[in-house]
Amino acid sequence: MRWLRRVGIALATLVVVLLVASGLYLAWDDLAPVRVAVDVPGAMIDAAGVPTHVEHWPALRPSGRPPLVLVPGFAESTYVFSRLGPRLAADRDVYAYDVRGYGFTAHVGPYDLAADTDQLAGVVGALHLVRPVVLGHSSGVAIALALALRDPGALTGVIAANGDGTPYFGADRSGSGGGGGVRSLVTLPPVGPAVVTAIVRHRGPVRSLVESQCGPGCPVDDAAIDRWRAPFLTPGGVTALLAIARQPLIGLTDDEERRLRVPVAIVFSELDTSFDRDDAAAMAARVRATAVTELPGARHLALLGEPERFAATVTPLLDRLG
């Protein structure tokens, strides 16, 4: 019993120290915040009441083809499309925007799929786009498919890149969310905010994360890493990220995907552990995909690390859809 009591006291002491240290670290960060000055191309628009950051790559040779809207995934911004967007704008206008809570879009809740879908519809409306093709990356696929399910006539087609539009966690695929309890524990204040703040204050951890998901072709110089860090170092950036992380992961159910009537094409990377060949095949069966294409040897962020190859893969899909 004495041994158990000592262990209990030690654990309680460790928890108290961790909480106090985290609180002190956040207080210090408030007094000495890190701010990164980066060049942010694009403009702000009102998308369903959300001040939204948008980038535009005009068509080099306008052809009347449907415009393309690019939707980034979890913790991503328009930066992930910065090398891909110009390569897809040969014969059509290409747009990318920051989903609410990420990038340089306003930190405006609620952070759920319905609100994200409203924002995408608002982007399409504010830019006066006529039946665009929407390419979603990672969790951005869910937003693209949700709009296709809500308003099939609004889109020409959807390209699902490195994601199937369903939540990544949870064995029950009849539900539209999962993993909330575990993430709530991990992001518990003040420890969660302190850990994330410590990560984004320094380039090293961010560089390691990017390299692991992007591969050898990815820009990892200081300027590139600062583009990743800058949005989270703005006031409220970490708070918004953690608020999103505490929610169940956005996504459609399998039955909702089976009800889709908009043409869908799928792109997946061979070395992407979050969305592999089996996931792509299962999704293709649900949505009756017009094409499924693999990028051999590529990783989750191939669109940034290998933009030429990614564009060469996507362009025929765009022609097929539109």
pTM score: 0.93
Give the separation between CA 89 and CA 125, rounded to whole angstroms: 20
Give the separation between CA 322 and CA 92, rounded to whole angstroms: 11
**pLDDT of res. 181:** 47
Residue 179 has pLDDT above 60, yes or no: no
Give the separation between CA 316 and CA 129, rounded to whole angstroms: 21
Q: pLDDT tens-digit profile of 66-98?
A: 999 999 999 999 999 999 999 999 999 999 999
Task: Fill in the DSSP letter of residue 135.
Answer: E
Give the separation between CA 84 and CA 295, rounded to whole angstroms: 15
Q: pLDDT tens-digit profile of 49-63?
A: 999 999 999 999 998
Q: Please, what is the Cα angle at 107 between 106 and 108, to 5 degrees?
A: 95
Assign 216 a pLDDT band (cuts: 50, 70, 90): confident
**pLDDT of res. 145:** 98
Give the separation between CA 87 and CA 135, rounded to whole angstroms: 14
Q: Determine the average pLDDT of the residues in 180-188.
A: 59
Would you state the CATH architecture of domain 43-178+247-321?
Answer: 3-Layer(aba) Sandwich (3.40)
**pLDDT of res. 29:** 77
**pLDDT of res. 170:** 54
**pLDDT of res. 169:** 58
**pLDDT of res. 212:** 93
Structure tokens belonging to residue 162: 């490195």
**pLDDT of res. 182:** 45
- Residue 51 bridge partners (DSSP): 46
Residue ranges covered by each domain of the chain: 43-178+247-321
Residue 248 has pLDDT above 60, yes or no: yes
